């Protein structure tokens, strides 16, 4: 993004990524169902969703993956490269509930003249329950190269 590039030298193991807060609304879930052509009713039909035993409309699993990808791309900036992303949804996320996407740097190294960074990433609700767990590898530009 336009607000300054992150460089490898600015990243240290243990550092936190800037938190990305999302509270997906019914409208956003509708738009995601539409662009992914997903007719599954637990994402838009509240009566049906309650009858299936859920307490509310359910957030799409891959939308939570997209939020985590945004946590990373926003942090690494235009010249950073998202190389690997993995995530698994452990618990259900509901519409209109906070999903705080967070991350911690776990490893940094230089290979092929590039700065590589590994992170643990996750999305948690307002109670701090981690609903999605994942990890990522990114490549950052180096200042002195």
Partner 1 sequence: MAHASLITDEIRSWIGHETPPWTIEATRLDIRRFAVATDDLNPLYLDETYAQHSVHGSLIAPPLFYMAPLTDPVPETELRPDGLPYEGKFPIPPTPLPRLMDGGTEIEFFVPIRVGDTLIGRCKITDIYQKDGRTGPLIFVVRETRFTNQHGELVLVEKGASILR
Residues in contact with partner 1 by the rule CB under 8 A: 1-2, 22, 24, 28, 31-32, 34-37, 39-42, 45, 48, 52, 61-63, 65-67, 69-70, 73-74, 78-79, 81-89
Residue 130 Cβ vs partner 1, minimum distance, rounded to whole Å: 14
Q: Which of 49, 56, 46, 72 is nearest to 23 (CA)?
A: 56
Residue 62 Cβ vs partner 1, minimum distance, rounded to whole Å: 5
Nearer residue to partner 1 within complex by CB, 11 or 132: 132
CB 97 within 8 A of CB 125: yes
Residue 72 Cβ vs partner 1, minimum distance, rounded to whole Å: 8
The SS3 call for residue 34 is helix
CA 114-119-121 angle, to 5 degrees, is 145
User: 91: exposed, middle or buried (C-beta count within 10 Å: 0-12, 13-18, 19+)?
Assistant: exposed
CA 29-63-84 angle, to 5 degrees, is 165
Nearer residue to partner 1 within complex by CB, 46 or 83: 83
Residue 94 Cβ vs partner 1, minimum distance, rounded to whole Å: 17
Nearer residue to partner 1 within complex by CB, 16 or 86: 86
């Amino acid at each position: 993004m336009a607000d300054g590039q992150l460089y490898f030298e600015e990243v240290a193991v243990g550092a936190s990524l800037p938190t990305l807060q999302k509270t997906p609304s019914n409208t956003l879930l509708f738009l995601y169902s539409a662009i992914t052509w997903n007719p599954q009713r637990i994402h838009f039909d509240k009566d049906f969703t309650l009858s299936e035993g859920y307490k509310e409309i359910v957030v799409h699993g891959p939308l939570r993956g997209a939020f985590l990808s945004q946590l990373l791309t926003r942090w690494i900036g235009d010249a950073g490269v998202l190389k690997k992303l993995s995530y698994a949804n452990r618990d259900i996320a509901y519409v209109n509930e906070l999903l705080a996407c967070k991350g911690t740097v776990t490893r940094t190294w230089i290979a092929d003249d590039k700065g590589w960074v590994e992170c643990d990433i996750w999305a948690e609700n307002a109670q701090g329950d981690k609903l999605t767990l994942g990890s990522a590898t990114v490549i950052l530009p180096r200042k002195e190269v």
